[in-house]
Amino acid sequence: MYKNSILAEVEKLYSVSDRLDVLAEEHPLVSEALVSISGNVRNTAALLEVLVAMKLAPLSGVDPASA
């Protein structure tokens, strides 16, 4: 199902974000850039989760035409 595939990618993005945060701690010269990129990746993952919740997981008992 598309929902599960997308959510699996979301988890991977969160993992990438976490690894970038660790790298930022280890490499002070590029720390600011890595933290910024990490935040962008994390925000993208969150947006994908919202997309799944809104478009691929309709509420039970609600007519999709009126949602």
pLDDT, one tens digit for every residue, the chain (67 residues) = 689 999 999 999 999 999 999 999 999 999 999 999 999 999 999 999 999 999 886 655 545 555 4
pTM higher than 0.85: no
Region of residue 55 (phi > 0: left; psi between -120 and 50: alpha; otherwise: beta): alpha
Quote the pLDDT of residue 63: 54
> Which structural domain, as residue segments, surrounds residue 33?
2-57
Domain assignment of residue 49, yes or no: yes
Quote the pLDDT of residue 56: 83
Number of domains, the chain: 1
Domain assignment of residue 62, yes or no: no
Domain assignment of residue 39, yes or no: yes
